[in-house]
Amino acid sequence: MSKAPTHLPKHVAIIMDGNGRWAKKRHLPREAGHYAGMGAVRETVRAACDMGLENLTLFAFSSENWKRPKTEVGALMALFRVYFRSDMDELVERNVRMRIIGHRGRVAGDIHQMILDSESRTAQNTGMNLTFAFDYGGQEEIVAATRELARAAAEGRLDPETITPELFAQRLFTNALPEPDLVIRTSGEHRLSNFLLWQSAYAELLFVDTLWPDFGRDALQKAIESFAARERRFGAVNSEAVA
Ligand code: IPE
Ligand code: IPE
Ligand code: MG
């Protein structure tokens, strides 16, 4: 058993990238990489629960991923069905509360229903908040929140002067969650790809070379240790500099 991390972030968010390259290295189709990626999701969720992490958010499908070939999108959707069917019982047993953030209106009806069922089935759970960003885009999310506030203002229900960052954040999909303090991206790419743009304003970013299917308990532990060693300032100066 690895030792418990000393300083746990409140919210870890992960851009799970590199499934295709993992498969390519093995001369397998990209879909095989996504399947292996599901195993990494399972292991990472279990590890996060065991560590006592309060919030874990996983980027599973972006609003731009619809641009991929139809067969790949179909395979990814099929995997989500498999995941919901095979893992829900364990998540319920682990007292996990599931949420899905994203557009919702564009996915197939049966997946939409699975999303609703998984959320209602775990709504009373008090353990880790597990959120999947699925058909999610940060810019879309910000625009939707803006549109809602603009409509309220146009209809005279909202004074524009009362719009604050806090009020704005309440209109985002993540309104029930604290902001992520650690955002991890696997596969060596150094970008956010439209993930939690507003919410990551002060997140610590960690880019690791590991391809997502190879991520798991040890990699999560290492990431959290690296977070614990960082100095966060939020625009201020640290206490030693003040003294
Ligand atoms: C991440 O792996 C999974 C999704 C985006 C759904 P990729 O499929 O992007 O893998 P690479 O980046 O091609 O290796
Ligand atoms: C980001 O990965 C989306 C997910 C991990 C779900 P991509 O592989 O789609 O991102 P880009 O295209 O390399 O920026
Ligand atoms: Mg990728």
The distance of Cα 241 from the centroid of its chain, to the nearest Å, equals: 35
Alpha helices in 190-242 (DSSP H): 217-228, 239-242
Residue reference for tokens 């300032």: 233
Banded pLDDT at 242 (limits 50, 70, 90): low
The answer as to whether 3 is a domain residue is no
Ligand nearest to the CA of 76: 1
The answer as to whether 4 is a domain residue is no
Is there a contact between 22 and 29 (Cβ–Cβ < 8 Å)? no
The answer as to whether 63 is a domain residue is yes
Model confidence pLDDT, tens digit, residues 48-104: 999 999 999 999 999 999 999 999 999 999 999 999 999 999 999 999 999 999 999
Residues acting as catalytic residues: 17, 65
115 lines ligand 1 (CB under 6 A): no
The share of the chain scoring above pLDDT 70, in percent, equals 95
Mean pLDDT (whole number) for 127-133: 98
Distance CA 182, CA 150 (A): 31
Domain count, the chain: 1
Distance CA 112, CA 84 (A): 11
Q: What residue type is 13 in one-letter code? A: A
User: Exposed/middle/buried for 174, CB within 10 Å: 0-12, 13-18, 19+?
Assistant: buried
pLDDT at 2 over 80: no
| Least confidently predicted of 50-54, 59-63, 207-211, 236-240 | 236-240
The answer as to whether 239 is a domain residue is no
The answer as to whether 81 is a domain residue is yes
The residues placing their C-beta within 5 Å of ligand 3, an ion, are 17
Residue 243 has a pLDDT of: 57
193 CA to centre of ligand 2 in angstroms = 6
CATH code where residue 42 lies: 3.40.1180.10
The mean predicted confidence, pLDDT, of the chain is: 96
Q: Phi-psi category of 118—alpha, beta or left, where left has phi over 0 and alpha has psi -120 to 50?
A: alpha
The answer as to whether 8 is a domain residue is no
134 lines ligand 2 (CB under 6 A): no
The answer as to whether 48 is a domain residue is yes
pLDDT at 239 over 80: no
H/E stretch holding 103: none
CA atoms within 13 A on the CB side of 234: 2
Is there a contact between 79 and 124 (Cβ–Cβ < 8 Å)? no
16 lines ligand 1 (CB under 6 A): yes
pLDDT at 3 over 80: no
The share of the chain scoring above pLDDT 90, in percent, equals 94
59, 68, 193, 196, best to mutate for ligand 2 pocket (most atoms within 8 Å of CB) = 193
pLDDT at 159 over 60: yes
Alpha helices in the chain (DSSP H): 19-25, 30-51, 70-93, 109-122, 138-154, 165-170, 217-228, 239-242
CA atoms within 13 A on the CB side of 243: 3
Give the closest residue (by CA) to ligand 1 atom 13: 20
Is there a contact between 45 and 96 (Cβ–Cβ < 8 Å)? yes
- Strand, coil or helix: 88: helix
Cα Rg of the chain (Å, integer): 19
Banded pLDDT at 1 (limits 50, 70, 90): very low
219 lines ligand 2 (CB under 6 A): no
The answer as to whether 29 is a domain residue is yes
Mean pLDDT (whole number) for 98-112: 97
72 lines ligand 2 (CB under 6 A): no
CA distance to 21, 140, 161, 195, per residue, from 198 (Å) = 29, 11, 20, 9
CA nearest to 133, candidates 199, 189, 67: 199
Structural domain that includes position 35: 13-230
17 CA to centre of ligand 2 in angstroms = 6
